[in-house]
Structure 1
Amino acid sequence: MLHPKLKLLFLCTGNSCRSQMAEGWARHLKGAQIDAYSAGIEKHGLNPNAVKVMAEAGVDISGHHSKTLGELDGVPFDVVVTVCGHAHETCPVFPGQARVVHVGFDDPPKLARGETDPEKALAHYRRVRDEIRAFVETLPQAVA
């Protein structure tokens, strides 16, 4: 008997960077097991540096767009992974059986703010991208 895919939402403050990278990795690495989504408490637009560093790793998220939870209304999530502290602290209640799991990652735009060397700024995005990939590789077992 086939097992249905795990419906997993990555939730962040603005759905511009960390949650987008997590969705991209989940679709790329675990697409056969996970039906991945991402959203934000607010909508901040897709971060171009997130798109750039994901492309460097062979994952195209350029077609993604920033969305709020309201745009995913009606999706019966099994698991919601908050990837930043603000989303975890303000996470709404989800109907049904959705479990909320917090796995926080540093905020690359915040870390890169004020950095005058573009390569040093991108280094923050690359590090967090790789940390998110390492977490996604543990799915779905890590949230079971």
Structure 2
Amino acid sequence: MNRIRTAIDNGILFLCVANSARSQIAEGLARSIFGPNIKIQSAGSKPARIHPLTFDVMNEIGIDISSQWCKSINKADMSRVGLVISLCANEVCATIPTPSIHLHWFLPNPAIKNPDQNEINAFRKTRDELSKKINILHKDYKTLPLRSGTVKPSPLPRMATAAAFFTPFRRFAFLRGLAS
């Protein structure tokens, strides 16, 4: 159980393709929720520029992400990563060969225009979904016992090993994007 806590203590990296919306929102939310003692980063496999609506939806809830910038995966401080959370839905997210625990939260890219949804509402929906997931992760983190040390590589795929650490299953299913 406390392997997740150790992973989070080592730092969280949010990944998506462009590092322009989902991962930037997640970084801002996680910094606000976890506080300054946990290293929070975001990066993308093909970084672009932060979408203007990303700033807008975060400002709506009082979180200023103006100091954040788009980063490539190779610019992330991998020595400070214990938990990697991929946020790609239909795109292919990069994989990182680290001793990290890896979760995948399937979230559509709000920057891709959907004729059935107002663009700002797509960003709000992404922000609100990420807020739910990060708050649940934080709640679980606070209830896990402390353990010193670093996360060691597992012979099993990261997504498979992570299932053993979240209880009840419903919470894990929600974090993995399997339930709403």
Question: Shorter-chain TM-score: what band?
Answer: 0.7 to 0.9
Cα root mean square deviation, aligned? 2.5
Bigger radius of gyration among the two: 2
Give the aligned partner of residue 22 of structure 1.
Answer: 26
Counterpart AA for 1:120: N
Counterpart AA for 1:9: L
Question: In structure 1, how many angstroms separate the alpha carbons of the residues matched to 2:59 and 2:107?
Answer: 20
Displaced runs of 4+ in structure 1, greater than 3 A? Answer: none
CA contact (8 A) 2:89 2:109 kept: no
Task: Please show how residues 35-114 of structure 1 align to structure 2 within 5 Å.
Answer: 35-85=39-89, 89-95=92-98, 97-112=99-114
Question: In structure 2, how many angstroms separate the alpha carbons of the residues matched to 1:71 and 1:125?
Answer: 25
Question: In structure 1, how many angstroms separate the alpha carbons of the residues matched to 2:68 and 2:34?
Answer: 17
3-state SS in 1 of match to 2:31: helix
Listed one character per residue, the Cα deviations across residues 70-117 of structure 1 (whole Å, up to 9, x for unaligned) are 111443411100001366x4422323x2111101112111145x68xx
Question: Identity rate of aligned residues, in percent?
Answer: 28
Q: TM-score, normalised by structure 2?
A: 0.67
Decide whether aligned partners of structure 1 residues 34 and 76 sit closer, same or farther in structure 2, where only a CA change above 3 A counts.
Answer: closer
Structure 2: gaps (5+ residues)? 1-5, 142-161, 166-180
* Alignment counterpart, residue 119 of structure 2, candidates 115, 118, 121: 121
Number of residue-to-residue matches in the alignment: 136
